[in-house]
Chain A
Amino acid sequence: NAGVTQTPKFHILKIGQSMTLQCTQDMNHNYMYWYRQDPGMGLKLIYYSVGAGITDKGEVPNGYNVSRSTTEDFPLRLELAAPSQTSVYFCASRQGNQPQHFGDGTRLSIL
């Protein structure tokens, strides 16, 4: 099993551009999550999904969108990138009461 795979690992985006952060998992987990990690702030939940076709806002959803057309994939889209979205983004998945499995993160800079 590859676990949770995120791409890209690094990216630089210009203000106003859009991009999609990819996340896929091969563990057949129902629950998937997107977090952002800012210095001194811990992990903040952006969006989550409890299964294919179902998504919900987390704590900090503004400026982001997600979709969950399959169990495996949970892409995160930034439509109009802003400097405040410079962060490290982590995707995670979980099944039942098992621990969450995290991807390696995407380091995104918006200039």
Chain B
Amino acid sequence: ILNVEQSPQSLHVQEGDSTNFTCSFPSSNFYALHWYRWETAKSPEALFVMTLNGDEKKKGRISATLNTKEGYSYLYIKGSQPEDSATYLCASRSQGNLIFGKGTKLSVKP
């Protein structure tokens, strides 16, 4: 069974701060890495799907990088806003299903 680890578990930042989280996953038989944004009382929404080593994806102020050889992905948020407050989930897929990490809970104070 894959083990997907996310750090930190939670993070509190001030509005305007830039921040980043880490997702680590087993690099063997890697197929894809997913990032989701999960607001309280809602369902997870997809941010990125990355498959190639060195992939970089960007959506507004949020970007992500992927290193499949060493088994990690970073999610960056530039100039955090209160509406960025959510849990950010990563999930790795090898040959089978997605295995989710426990998420990083981000709180952005105005």
Residues on A lying within 8 angstroms of B by beta carbon are 33, 35, 40-43, 45, 48, 58-59, 90, 97-105
Contact = CB atoms under 8 A, between A and B. Distances in A.
A103 B45 CA distance: 10
A90 B43 contact: yes
B49 A99 contact: yes
Interface string B14-38: 0000000000000000011010100
B97 A105 contact: no
Nearest to B49: A99
22 contacts: A42-B89, A42-B100, A42-B101, A42-B102, A43-B44, A43-B89, A45-B97, A58-B97, A59-B1, A90-B43, A97-B32, A99-B34, A99-B46, A100-B34, A100-B36, A100-B46, A100-B98, A102-B43, A102-B45, A103-B43, A104-B42, A104-B43
Contacts of A90: 43-44
B7 interface: no
Contacts of A100: 34, 36, 44, 46, 98
